[in-house]
Amino acid sequence: MQLFHPYSESELSIRNPFCSNNSTEVAGHPKEGWKMNKKIALIPLLSFLALMSALQTVKAATITSATLDRDTYLAGQTGHISVVIYNDKSEKIRVTELSATINYYYTDGTVYVQKFFTSATLPDEIQEGQTETYQIPISLPTNMASGYANPTIEARTEIWQPHIEHWMSSDRATSQLKLYVESPYKQSYETSQQELQEQKTVNESLSNTVTILAVTTLVFAVATAFLMFFVFTMRPRPIPQP
């Protein structure tokens, strides 16, 4: 028995295996259908690449310097971090956020994370090739453990896109510091040593003063005795009568 097939032999020989609905191509033109399928397959890829290009961030700023206002801190002290940001692009940028994150330990061993923000008014623009200096105030807790901490400085920026007249998000420039918190016991020891040195200096000064006074008194006494001796010996004596 011969089975009936709805397609001719020529149509069966040119069916496109990449077509999802198993439609047939025009007999005699198999390449046209293949090219059409390739174009359709490229559309999602091009859309994805366009989306990634739009979301891609641009490097626009560099933190060239980040310094603390002192070498050593004590628990409970306040200070600030000076941050210099450089615009190394050919278009202006603006700083939208500037912060310092400090991870440290309390004296009981508890880990704590604290984030400080700049005192400047943001956003703040930086022209191409220029630098700006900002300050981030910090305040350390009174029960902070002594030792080193590593503040992380982070600057969020945007770069101006003149062809679309719009600000585009840029990368986050970062920098890291070393912050040293001195032990209160060491501070107490140094304070006591300083007071002891000051007391020693006072004692030495008093001793020198007493010595000078004693020498002065001795010299005065010797001079007085010599003067009295001189006066006594030079006094005229009566001539004895024969």
Q: Exposure string (b/e) for 99-110, b if CB count within 10 Å is 16 or more?
A: bbebebbeeeee
Model confidence at 176: pLDDT above 50: yes
Round to whole Å and give the CA distance between 150 and 167. Answer: 32
- Listed range (61-70, 174-183, 193-202) with the worst mean pLDDT: 193-202
Q: Does 97 fall in a domain?
A: yes
Q: Are 141 and 192 in a shared domain?
A: no
Q: Which of 71-75, 147-151, 173-177, 184-188 has the lowest mean pLDDT?
A: 184-188
| Same-domain pairing of 112 and 206 | no
Range with the poorest average pLDDT among 50-54, 110-114, 143-147, 222-226: 50-54
Both 175 and 217 in one domain: the answer is no
**Same domain flag for 123 and 210:** no
**How does the average pLDDT of the chain come out, rounded?**
77
What is the band of 125 on the pLDDT scale with cuts at 50, 70, 90?
very high
Do 72 and 175 belong to one domain? Answer: yes
Show the domain range for 27: 9-43
3 — pLDDT class (breaks 50, 70, 90)? very low
Residue 142 shares a structural domain with residue 197: no
Nearest to 134 by CA among 149, 104, 156, 112: 156
Give how many domains the chain has, as a whole number.
3
Pairing of strands 147-149, 111-117: unpaired
Tokens linked to 36: 């059409």
The verdict on 123 and 75 lying in the same domain is yes
139 is a domain residue: yes
The pLDDT of residue 197 is: 78
- Which element (helix H / strand E) includes 61? strand 61-68
Structural domain contains residue 4: no
Whether the per-residue pLDDT at 83 is higher than 50: the answer is yes
Contacts of 158 (CB under 8 A, 6+ apart): 60, 93, 94, 96, 123, 167, 168, 169, 170
φ/ψ of 13, rounded to 5, equals -75, -15
Q: Are 172 and 159 in contact (CB under 8 A)?
A: no
65 and 99 in a single domain? The answer is yes
20 lies in the same domain as 38: yes
Tell whether 72 is covered by a domain: yes
CA-to-CA dists, residue 234 to 176, 227, 240, angstroms: 91, 11, 17
Q: Is residue 240 part of a domain?
A: no
Q: Domain of 136: which CATH number?
A: 2.60.40.10
Task: Answer yes or no: is pLDDT of 231 > 50.
Answer: yes
Residues 146 and 214 in one domain: no
Q: What's the angle, vertex CA 41, arms to CA 40 and CA 46, rounded to 5?
A: 95
User: Mind listing the pLDDT tens digit for each residue in 198-223?
Assistant: 777 877 888 888 888 888 888 888 88
Domain shared by 135 and 200, yes or no: no
* SS3 of residue 211 by DSSP: helix
Per-residue model confidence (pLDDT) at position 39: 54
The pLDDT of residue 89 is: 86
Question: Does a structural domain hold residue 152?
Answer: yes
pLDDT of residue 138: 96
Same domain membership, residue 116 and residue 127: yes
